[in-house]
Chain A
Amino acid sequence: MMRYVAKKLAGLAATVLVVSFLVFAAFAVIPGDPATSMLGTQATPEKVEALREEMGLNDPLPKRFARWAVEFIQGDFGTSYSYQMPVSSMVGEKIPVTLALTLLAFLMMVAMSIPVGIFCARHAGGFLDRAITVLNQVIMAIPPFFSGILITLLFGLILHWFTPGGYISYTQDVWRFLGYMVFPAFAIALPKAAMAVKLLRSSVLSEMKLDYVRTAYSRGNRTKSVLYRHVLKNALIPVVTFLGMALADMVAGSIIIEQVFNIPGLGRILLTSISNRDYPVVQAIIVCIAFLVIFVNFAVDLIYKLVDPRITLD
């Protein structure tokens, strides 16, 4: 186990290093820099040059990267160019927003997909199963940003269940914040839930054909107990893999959905910081996301072990 954790941590460090260097390199290639961005239409070559010098942008790329990396390891994430605020507090303030959105979406996905998936498998070939299968195909084909617009239209403008664009900060009112988040989370969860239903259904059905199931039946078990005690555990393994990937994917998905629902989370900060060439902020967010993805992978591995004790981590 210790070796496993050490391996994961080494992987994390390597990933963060590579990813953050790539971000640095990408910014060096694309046109524009924070100095021109800050000066806007007031920019003159002299002013840009003076500001570049002041911000240390005239140093060679490896030097700038090394300076950033050293400070980062020391826990100093730097100061945002556009906001003159410490990056740590700026990003720290937004992490709960994106995390809440992602986790809410994940919970909704699990809550929707597992019961429906099992139901479909039990009633395979039935009318409801076929109807759900068709519906699933449709839902899978709709990207979240579009379902987001439809959800805004239906629940926001027609049913008035929420105020479109009326985001309320979690610092102001946690319940109303979560209340608003339900709708974007639903938009993210829908297509993933549809995929999970499809996966779980086929996974359960293929397990049902295996010998141990016949044995279980022959011992006199009823369908229900065979399904929940034996089949589901085995059928869940591919689903857990999928859920893990889906969770990581949802972080990325939330960046787009934040635009649709006007939520000021990590995604919004990331996008504006990229267009402002605000490197310290972009770096910090990228590192956060990389960390999150690796952490999710780690969690998935642990859940494997929980579901199937035969699996070893090393």
Chain B
Amino acid sequence: MKTKAMRKVLLTLVCTALAIALGACSGDKAAEENTSQITIGIPQDIEDSLDPHKAVAAGTKEVLFNLFEGLVNPDSEGNLYDAVASSHEILEDGKVYRFTLREGVKFHDGSLVTAEDVKYSLEKCADISGGEPLVAAYSAIERVDIVDEKTVDVVLKEPDTDFLPYLTAAIIPASNENPDTNPIGTGPYKYVSRSPQENIVLEKFADYWGTPANIEHVTLQIIANADAIVTSLNGGAVDMFARISQAQAQQVSDDFNVLEGTMNLVQAVYLNNAAAPFDDVRVRQALCYAIDPQGIMDMVSDGKGTQIGSSMFPAFGKYYMEELNDLYATDLERAKQLLAEAGYPDGFSFTLTVPSNYQQHIDTAQVVAEQLKQIGVTADIQLIEWDSWLSDVYTDRNYEATVVGVDASSLTAAALLERFVSTAGNNFINYSNPAYDEAFANAKASVDDAQKTEYYKECERILAEDAANVYIQDLPSFVALNKKYGGYEFYPLYVQDIAKLYLVDGQD
């Protein structure tokens, strides 16, 4: 009898396992689609905040871009259009920015945007109770005035004609008590739910004031493991993944279009200008002569990418100076000579710190190390966690050199150039040059746009001539998009515009 009982138990176990396995096969095919939807893979979850004013990570901002809008909003050409405001005027030579609010703009909770909400949002960003305002540039705001219920004035302490790009800060309802967990904005998509490390679900906002989104349901699925990206795409689990590598782009199946753009980053070997030997301009220039950006692009991404010669990338159009790319045409003899003059005839060795989560920077660092061997300089590559990078390199500035990409937080040249002012809190390379500080101050103070541009260009030229960093490239960016969808647009900022995506006709 006991034998039988034992057998029964075993049989049941085997059957259960089989039943589950079979259930899997049948269940998988039951795809139900009655409304349009898209699953977009993103490499990291939102780990800073759903509050658009507190969000700092580029990966967070690119998601929140679809939920929130400012008084003005950037478009894919890098221009600003009126969003929550229907028009704007710059008065008193740039001291007062007057906004007329658009009629009938609604928040996701159904309430209308009022002048009070605008004042609340801007003041929240300018609030200095945390030591510094949430949006650093907002320290320039003196006050926000409600002129009438449809008109708001932003009054600056000093005239600044270049302040409009900062007024893209999200307008949120003053009544929302938990912006950290319950994001309410005016954008084309509204937040539905999230599950940590799993997904973020968005839904089309039916009462959007402008051109509504095309796709009804959006699931942003977190795929933290880079090796799983291609299988998730090819297996059909996600329909789109932005910023994949060249190698991944080559592996995606024929079901996908691979679109190519740029990442809008300044990738460089950032040098600690306060630490020997990089405190010597000759050493920095020697590195510039020895490192060949084209060679790096050829090795790392099949020659794709855009060379840069200063802290500015091509998407910025009028500020970008292509001529700076040729300032340090590869010249090993000149590099060795400069090293000898600086007192390092036999070269030296230094630690090149690279955040371990960015494969493209690791690849670049490896090529850089090889190229530097030719002039007797040894770069010891040290990989560290992103979080350690933030604290050791970025905040404590305790490093010799690092390879990263720096992005622009707004559509102004200042977003890229302000950090190199000697007193800037985020000047992580410890760059200090009075001529630069002066040029930047002049640019800020200029009212005339042409003159302003000239001063910004001077800043770029100084950075390049001073070899503040070894500038390499604006990285190529590849987007895999299932052929069922169209409408992807590249922006000069780090954002994904989901509202523009649509289902291609003739597909389900």
A165 touching B392 by the CB < 8 A rule? no
Closest Cβ–Cβ distance, residue B409 to chain A (whole Å): 8
Instruction: Give the docked Cα–Cα distance between A64 and B64 (Å).
Output: 34
A115 touching B390 by the CB < 8 A rule? no
Which single member of B132, B196, B234 contacts A46 (CB below 8 Å)? Answer: B132
Instruction: Give the docked Cα–Cα distance between A54 and B49 (Å).
Output: 16
Instruction: Give the docked Cα–Cα distance between A157 and B230 (Å).
Output: 11
Secondary structure call for the A interface: helix
**B419: nearest residue on chain A (CB-CB)?**
A41
Binds B, one of A9-17, A69-77, A272-280, A301-309: A272-280
The residues in A between 236 and 258 inclusive whose CB is less than 8 angstroms from any CB of B are none
Instruction: Give the docked Cα–Cα distance between A144 and B231 (Å).
Output: 18
B228 touching A164 by the CB < 8 A rule? yes
Q: Which residues of A contact B199 (CB under 8 A)?
A: 264
The residues in B between 365 and 387 inclusive whose CB is less than 8 angstroms from any CB of A are 385-387
Which single member of B3, B45, B225, B235 contacts A260 (CB below 8 Å)? Answer: B225
A182 touching B24 by the CB < 8 A rule? yes
Instruction: Give the docked Cα–Cα distance between A169 and B197 (Å).
Output: 12
Closest Cβ–Cβ distance, residue B63 to chain A (whole Å): 14
A218 within 8 Å of B by Cβ?
A: no
A175 touching B23 by the CB < 8 A rule? yes
Instruction: Give the docked Cα–Cα distance between A224 and B4 (Å).
Output: 11
**B130: nearest residue on chain A (CB-CB)?**
A50
A178 touching B425 by the CB < 8 A rule? no
Q: Which residues of A contact B235 (CB under 8 A)?
A: 156-157, 163-166
Render B121-163 as a binary contact track against A, CB cut-off 8 A, 1 for contact: 0000000001110001000000000000000000000000000
Render B220-262 as a binary contact track against A, CB cut-off 8 A, 1 for contact: 0111110110011011111000000000000000000000000
B24 touching A179 by the CB < 8 A rule? yes
A215 within 8 Å of B by Cβ?
A: no
Q: Which residues of B contact A259 (CB under 8 A)?
A: 224-225, 228
A68 within 8 Å of B by Cβ?
A: no
Given contacts A36-B387, A260-B225, A264-B222, contact A229 B131 (CB under 8 A): no
A264 touching B197 by the CB < 8 A rule? yes
Which single member of B21, B131, B236, B388 contacts A49 (CB below 8 Å)? Answer: B131
B27 within 8 Å of A by Cβ?
A: yes
Instruction: Give the docked Cα–Cα distance between A269 and B194 (Å).
Output: 14
B196 touching A277 by the CB < 8 A rule? no
Given contacts A41-B426, A259-B224, contact A182 B3 (CB under 8 A): no
The residues in A between 11 and 67 inclusive whose CB is less than 8 angstroms from any CB of B are 30-33, 36-51, 54
Binds B, one of A79-87, A130-138, A203-211: A79-87
Instruction: Give the docked Cα–Cα distance between A52 and B43 (Å).
Output: 27
**B225: nearest residue on chain A (CB-CB)?**
A259
B238 touching A41 by the CB < 8 A rule? no
Q: How large is the interface on A (under 10, 10 to 19, 20 to 34, 35 or more residues)?
A: 35 or more
A161 touching B132 by the CB < 8 A rule? no
A51 touching B130 by the CB < 8 A rule? yes
B329 within 8 Å of A by Cβ?
A: no
Given contacts A164-B235, A262-B225, A272-B224, contact A46 B57 (CB under 8 A): no
Q: Which residues of A contact B6 (CB under 8 A)?
A: 228, 232
A83 touching B237 by the CB < 8 A rule? no
A157 touching B131 by the CB < 8 A rule? no
A277 touching B387 by the CB < 8 A rule? yes
Which single member of B49, B57, B231 contacts A164 (CB below 8 Å)? Answer: B231
The residues in A between 269 and 294 inclusive whose CB is less than 8 angstroms from any CB of B are 269, 271-272, 275-277
B231 touching A156 by the CB < 8 A rule? yes
Instruction: Give the docked Cα–Cα distance between A161 and B26 (Å).
Output: 9
Q: Which residues of A contact B395 (CB under 8 A)?
A: 36, 43-45, 48
Q: Which residues of B contact A182 (CB under 8 A)?
A: 20-21, 24
**B179: nearest residue on chain A (CB-CB)?**
A84
Closest Cβ–Cβ distance, residue A1 to chain B (whole Å): 26
Q: Which residues of B contact A166 (CB under 8 A)?
A: 28, 232, 235-237
Closest Cβ–Cβ distance, residue B389 to chain A (whole Å): 8
B56 within 8 Å of A by Cβ?
A: yes
A296 within 8 Å of B by Cβ?
A: no
B48 within 8 Å of A by Cβ?
A: yes
Instruction: Give the docked Cα–Cα distance between A259 and B231 (Å).
Output: 13
B16 within 8 Å of A by Cβ?
A: yes
Binds B, one of A102-110, A120-128, A194-202: A102-110
The residues in B between 1 and 36 inclusive whose CB is less than 8 angstroms from any CB of A are 2-3, 6, 10, 13-14, 16-17, 20-21, 23-25, 27-28, 30
Q: Which residues of B contact A272 (CB under 8 A)?
A: 45, 47, 197, 224
A176 within 8 Å of B by Cβ?
A: yes
Instruction: Give the docked Cα–Cα distance between A152 and B392 (Å).
Output: 39
Q: Which residues of B contact A192 (CB under 8 A)?
A: none
Closest Cβ–Cβ distance, residue B15 to chain A (whole Å): 9
**B253: nearest residue on chain A (CB-CB)?**
A157
Best-surrounded residue of B30, B49, B56, B387 (most CB of chain A within 10 A): B387
Q: Which residues of A contact B131 (CB under 8 A)?
A: 46-47, 49-50
Closest Cβ–Cβ distance, residue A257 to chain B (whole Å): 11
Q: Which residues of A contact B232 (CB under 8 A)?
A: 164-166, 262
Q: Which residues of A contact B224 (CB under 8 A)?
A: 259, 262, 268, 271-272
Instruction: Give the docked Cα–Cα distance between A260 and B16 (Å).
Output: 25
Given contacts A46-B131, A50-B131, A182-B21, contact A229 B394 (CB under 8 A): no
Q: Which residues of B contact A140 (CB under 8 A)?
A: none
B391 within 8 Å of A by Cβ?
A: yes
B181 within 8 Å of A by Cβ?
A: yes
Q: Which residues of A contact B406 (CB under 8 A)?
A: 41
B93 within 8 Å of A by Cβ?
A: no
**A267: nearest residue on chain B (CB-CB)?**
B197
Given contacts A107-B13, A232-B6, contact A176 B387 (CB under 8 A): no
Instruction: Give the docked Cα–Cα distance between A207 and B195 (Å).
Output: 51
A298 within 8 Å of B by Cβ?
A: no
Closest Cβ–Cβ distance, residue B42 to chain A (whole Å): 12
Q: Which residues of B contact A46 (CB under 8 A)?
A: 131-132, 425
15 additional A-B pairs beyond A111-B13, A179-B25, A260-B228, beta carbons within 8 Å, are: A32-B392, A47-B132, A84-B49, A90-B196, A114-B10, A115-B14, A161-B25, A165-B231, A167-B198, A167-B237, A180-B28, A182-B20, A262-B225, A264-B222, A272-B47
14 contacts between A and B (CB under 8 A): A38-B56, A43-B394, A43-B426, A44-B136, A47-B132, A51-B130, A85-B181, A93-B195, A169-B195, A175-B23, A179-B28, A229-B3, A260-B227, A269-B196
